[in-house]
Amino acid sequence: MGAELLRLLLVHPRVTLTGVTSERLAGQSLGSLYPHLRGLSELTFHDLDAEWLAGACDVAFLALPHMESQKAVPVLRKRGQKVIDLSADYRLHDAADYMTWYKTPHVDPAGLAEAVYGLPELHRKAIAAASLVASPGCYAVGAILATAPLLKNGLARLEGIVVDGKSGVSGAGAQGRKVDPMYLYTEANENVQAYSIGGVHRHTAEIEQELSALAGETVRVSFTPHLLPLTRGLFTTASVLLATPLGTAELVDVYREFYAGEPFVRVLGESERPTTRSVVGSNYCDVTVVADPRTGRAVCVSAIDNLGKGGSANGVQNLNVLFGWHERTGLEAPPVYP
């Protein structure tokens, strides 16, 4: 996530990168660690010192392991810095929910209560006024954008929502720790596997939090993530019981109206289907919906890049909203093909 963020920020026309930090890599140059960034910056990695960071920038991005951002954020905010956090530390509004899902107390409950969930399609106005933005998890983005129009418009029954998410292996990050064997090439290649079965994946909490806010009452979902033999990309299929029988054309019209004017959500027509190949390397979310009259359900489908709209590119979109810049600034490049 951090490497993808650097790729985007180094060519952003309104941004000057003033420092990069790493506990493991202090003293190493950016170009030597990430050869694809050679020649774009002469910076070297600095130890993570929140006081130093607060004096070095106007806004700080944090791409830290979970439970680490909450140690740095209070220092940065006390010094008046804006923060965009790509970790999960500030995504849940309630400290009790954080304890439930992350099995540890949150050390900055005040910041948790004030943080804005960083999905511009839902919270643009709040993000613009925020000092702390919590960028969503990748699975959560795919699930929320796939189903939000139905929940917001009262077209969904709130029981029995099933979400299936499939991600590329880069979602595991590239940290200096023992890697779960399922992310190894020999295990992931030519293989598809489910994990965190039974609603225990932590992104479930974000999905339920945001869909409940849209619906105006508590929503529970059955969410199962899967690992695909892809480097990048995330594909979501959600099955939602309809409160009112509607056909595919009517449902697509609802989605088009809901996402009208959104710069990064592309609602596909009745004969089109999202694919991960069509969004890789971008901040786009391709989405569509199909009626299943036999079961009275809507099948909602979305495709994103897990490091793009599901991570760092969405963080840059939040940056643009935060500073009042056009949201496409620094994100104009189309997806990579082939």
pLDDT digits (tens, 9 = 90+) for 276-288: 999 999 999 999 9
- Distance (Å, rounded) from C-alpha 150 to C-alpha 128? 26
**176, pLDDT greater than 60:** no
Q: Lowest mean pLDDT: which of 19-33, 124-138, 192-206, 297-311?
A: 19-33
- Render pLDDT for 190-228 as a digit per residue (tens, 0 to 9): 999 999 999 899 999 999 999 999 999 999 999 999 999
Which percentage of the chain shows pLDDT scores above 70?
98
* pLDDT mean over 222-251: 97
CB < 8 Å & 24+ apart, contacts of 44-50: 44/20, 45/20, 45/21, 46/19, 46/20, 46/21, 46/22, 47/21, 47/22, 47/23, 48/21, 48/22, 48/23, 48/72, 49/21, 50/75, 50/76
* pLDDT confidence bin for 19, thresholds 50/70/90: very high
Structural domains of the chain ordered from first start: 2-136+311-322 (3.40.50.720), 138-304 (3.30.360.10)
pLDDT of residue 70: 95
- Render pLDDT for 101-146 as a digit per residue (tens, 0 to 9): 999 999 999 999 999 999 999 999 999 999 999 999 999 999 999 9
* pLDDT confidence bin for 298, thresholds 50/70/90: very high
Comparing 188 with 314, the larger pLDDT belongs to: 314
pLDDT of residue 173: 67
**186, pLDDT greater than 90:** no
**66, pLDDT greater than 90:** no
* pLDDT confidence bin for 177, thresholds 50/70/90: low
pLDDT of residue 14: 98
pLDDT of residue 223: 97
State yes or no: is 138 an active-site residue. Answer: yes
pLDDT of residue 182: 84
Average pLDDT of the chain to the nearest whole number: 95
CA distance readout (Å), 155 to 158, 217, 244: 9, 14, 6
Task: Tell me the whole-structure pTM to 2 decimals.
Answer: 0.96
pLDDT of residue 302: 98
Which of the following is catalytic: 57, 138, 285, 300? 138
pLDDT of residue 24: 84
**55, pLDDT greater than 60:** yes
Which percentage of the chain shows pLDDT scores above 90?
90
Q: What is the 3-state secondary structure (H, E, C) of 86-134?
A: CCCCCCCCCHHHHHHHHCCCCCCHHHHHHCEECCHHHHHHHHHCCCEEE
Per-residue tokens: 22 = 């790493």
pLDDT of residue 175: 55
Q: φ, ψ for residue 74 (rounded to 5)?
A: -60, -35
